[in-house]
Amino acid sequence: MRTIASRLLLILATVFTMNYVRASEPPATPVPNHIKRASMERALDRALNKNLAFPLLARENMIGEVELSFVINKEGRIEVLTCASQNEALKAYVLRKLARIDIGENPEGIWRTTHMHLNFRPEKA
């Protein structure tokens, strides 16, 4: 009788504890800031190469240089700090294109001020 009772008790204990036994998840390892910054820089390079190109439709008015400085906010959008150009149409074009760029979230705000010098010239044939 003891063996039947002990077996029954063992089976019941196994059935009731099966739902409560779960493997613990591995602890999340934090990603270092230099790795996050490198991936954000790659995303920014891709976005700038995709969005900032010589405007083919307005060739005559879009020749010149633009100097700008910007930071990436916590939502991943570009915040232009300064933008200077002698060509106002070119300056407006650059600001309009930069406003569209979204490189992804930047929750820690790990972005420094970036200074760029853009030179818009048509390609020589």
Q: How confident is the model at residue 41 (pLDDT cuts 50, 70, 90)?
A: confident
Give residues with Cβ within 8 angstroms of 64, minimum separation 6.
85, 86, 87, 90, 120
Give the residues across from 14 on adjacent strands: none
Strands laid side by side in the 114-120 sheet: 78-84, 64-72, 114-120
Q: Determine the structural domain holding residue 108 and report its residue range.
A: 32-120
Residue 96 inside a domain? The answer is: yes
Q: Tell me the pTM.
A: 0.65
Would residue 15 count as lying in a domain? no
Cβ(113)–Cβ(81) below 8 Å:
yes
In whole numbers, what is the pLDDT of the chain averaged over residues?
80
Residue 17 located in a structural domain: no
Give residue 83's pLDDT: 94
Q: How many domains does the chain have?
A: 1
Considering the domain boundaries, does residue 9 fall inside one? no
In this prediction, residue 69 has a pLDDT band, given cuts at 50, 70 and 90, of: very high
